[in-house]
Amino acid sequence: MTATAYPALEPARKKILAAFLKTAEIRFKSLELLNLSFMHRSVSNESGNKANNERLEFLGDAILGAVTVTLLYQILSDKPEGELARIKSIVVSEDVLSGVALELQIDNLLILGRGEELSGGRTKKAILADALEALIGAIYIDSGYKNAFAFVSRFMSSEIDRVLENRHTQDYKSLLQEFCQRQFKKYPSYNLLKRTGPEHARIFWVEVSANGETFGPASGRNKKSAEREAAKLAYEALRSKA
């Protein structure tokens, strides 16, 4: 697809994309190409327009993998191939990539079909992770491998460190508390609703309240894990609206 073949942009959309680039500290020659990286296939499915981010995602996935294994090879010179592969599988996982996408506020930039929008597509991990990979592909096309490497390194280096320090499981209770304190000046509160199942296989059900909204219930094998799951629901929902 040539630069002139990318879907045209309205002035308002250009302003939104320019603001994103400033916040994310990225440069782009083609805002149309950047915009394409956020265009989910549900748009083309509903409109009949073939333009979507799937080809960019395919390219970005390869670039992401190349950058990640290069960083691992350089940082962990004493680790065998199997250990490098294990760490790579964690840091390029859907959970990690969708978290990075949320930090970049890509959820606010997604272009979704009506059906996907109504079904909560902006909070779906797969869509967020795919859009991040598409953005990486777009950076590569727009300004080359060096800039794509620099962009991926910015977030991937810290994710590798998290795995090495065994911090890669997101602490959603801490994330939610920090978010609520920052946004609402209040702390979330948890409520144990019930316990189900026999003593040896007890399931705990918890909901969490934040800023007047209640999220859950979520379940877990113990109260702490149920609270974590409820916090995850609340954090992702509140973060998507911020």
Question: Is the pLDDT score of 208 beyond 90?
Answer: yes
- Report the pLDDT value the prediction gives residue 1, as an integer from 0 to 100: 43
Q: Which residues are catalytic?
A: 61, 133
Both 97 and 136 in one domain: the answer is yes
Both 78 and 111 in one domain: the answer is yes
Both 135 and 15 in one domain: the answer is yes
- 92 three-class SS: coil
Both 133 and 185 in one domain: the answer is no
CB-count burial class (<10 Å; 0-12, 13-18, 19+) for 198: exposed
* Structure confidence by residue, pLDDT tens digits, 29-54: 999 999 999 999 998 877 767 789 99
Both 57 and 156 in one domain: the answer is yes
Place 2 in a pLDDT band, splitting at 50, 70 and 90.
very low
* Residue 240 burial (CB count, 10 A): 15
What CA–CA distance (Å, rounded) separates 228 from 25?
Answer: 32
CATH number at residue 156: 1.10.1520.10
Q: Tokens at residue 142, please?
A: 């727009």
Q: Which of 133, 164, 195 is the last residue in one of the domains?
A: 164
% of the chain residues with pLDDT over 70: 93
What CA–CA distance (Å, rounded) separates 190 from 143?
Answer: 47
* Structure confidence by residue, pLDDT tens digits, 140-173: 999 999 999 999 999 898 888 888 876 555 668 8
Both 177 and 159 in one domain: the answer is no
Q: Which domain holds residue 225?
A: 172-241
State the pTM of this model. Answer: 0.68
Q: Number of structural domains, the chain?
A: 2
